[in-house]
Amino acid sequence: MSEEFIKPVAYDEIAPRYDVARPVGRRDEGIWVDLASDFIDPNDTVLDLGCGNGRWIIPFAERLNCHGIGADNSLEMLRLAKNNDAHHLVQWSLQDAEYLSFQDNSFDAVWISHLLHLVQDPIAVTKECFRVLRQDGRILLRYTSLEDNLRMPERQFFPGLIGIDTRRIPPKENVTKWLTSAGFNIVSRAVCVQVYDSAIERLEKARMRVESGLTKLMDEQFRDGIEAFAQYVNEKGNETWLLNDNYVFTVGLKVAR
């Protein structure tokens, strides 16, 4: 269990503005679908744990021809996901990531994007993933590490995020330990770059205040940060450091013990 666990984000509250504030462009969607395609085969049964609005499992089902199950602990996010699932390709399930109701050996792959830093016991989650995966099943993790998170531009304009990040965002080595402790063999790791179209796009996303760290700031801290961010963007424009974010993609394999 994390010694510095921070109260969970109230995703039911931010769900109404989530689609607008955290869209996934076709370019970025394509990056992750292509990466996942190396580990997800047609007709695989794939669990998206912490699926949110369905931003990943829906394109996986559409483009990789897999059987998708989206699981989340927020009813409002699941309602949003169902609305986004225009072709009804995905099954949706209310779940606690630390205590999954699925039977052993149910899935060929589990996809997790930006979840482990939000739970109280990350190892419990990875152990549950190991349990519900079939032999030779894969866990696919998409996340920002502490190292990369601290380099994000928001940390310059909202310095209060630094302390929050340090207490809750894992460094790469912790994620590796969580996976190997559950029994996984690490078979792939890559760093991928997602690019904003403009600094204004990044600023407007921050204004919506749906990034989990921003929800933890005091209102005054948030207002001051937005003002500083907007002033910098107005003066400097599209500097490269404002546009690029690094994400880690790590894959673990379930092998016989």
Query: DSSP labels for the chain?
Result: --TT--PPP-HHHHHHHHHHHS---HHHHHHHHHHHHTT--TT-EEEEET-TTTTTHHHHHHHH--EEEEEES-HHHHHHHHHH-TT--EEEEE--TTS--SPTT-EEEEEEES-GGGSS-HHHHHHHHHHHEEEEEEEEEEE--HHHHTTSTHHHH-THHHHHHHHHSPPHHHHHHHHHHHTEEEEEEEEEEEE-S-HHHHHHHHHHT-STTGGGS-HHHHHHHHHHHHHHHHHH-S-HHHHEEEEEEEEEEE---
pTM: 0.88
Half-sphere exposure of 154 (CA within 13 A, CB side): 28
Give dist(CA 56, CA 96) in Å, integer: 19
DSSP assignment, residue 66?
Answer: -
Considering its fold, how many domains does the chain have in total?
1
CA dihedral 195, 198, 204, 208 (to 10 degrees): -10
In a domain, 191, yes or no: yes
Q: Extract the tokens encoding 11.
A: 């995703």
In a domain, 162, yes or no: no
In a domain, 175, yes or no: yes
Cα dihedral 138, 149, 21, 199 sign: negative
* Residue 72 near residue 51 (C-beta atoms within 8 A): yes
pLDDT at 3 over 50: no
Confidence class for position 139, pLDDT limits 50, 70, 90: very high
Give dist(CA 199, CA 240) in Å, integer: 9
In a domain, 62, yes or no: yes
In a domain, 237, yes or no: no
Q: Per residue in 10-50, pLDDT tens?
A: 555 554 555 554 555 556 788 899 999 999 999 999 999 99
DSSP assignment, residue 153?
Answer: T
pLDDT at 10: 55
CATH code of residue 112: 3.40.50.150
In a domain, 121, yes or no: yes
Q: Per residue in 191-240, pLDDT tens?
A: 999 888 899 999 998 998 877 789 889 999 999 999 999 999 999 989 99
Give dist(CA 172, CA 248) in Å, integer: 8
Confidence class for position 119, pLDDT limits 50, 70, 90: very high
In a domain, 26, yes or no: yes
Give dist(CA 213, CA 190) in Å, integer: 24
Q: What is the mean pLDDT of residues 179-201?
A: 94
- Residues spanned by the domain of 96: 11-145+170-195+246-254
The angle at the Cα of 56, spanning 79 to 77, to the nearest 5 degrees, equals 20
Q: Per residue in 58-108, pLDDT tens?
A: 999 999 999 999 999 999 999 999 999 999 999 999 999 999 999 999 999
In a domain, 231, yes or no: no
Give dist(CA 90, CA 58) in Å, integer: 7
With CA atoms as reference, report the closest residue to 145 among 112, 191, 179, 181: 191
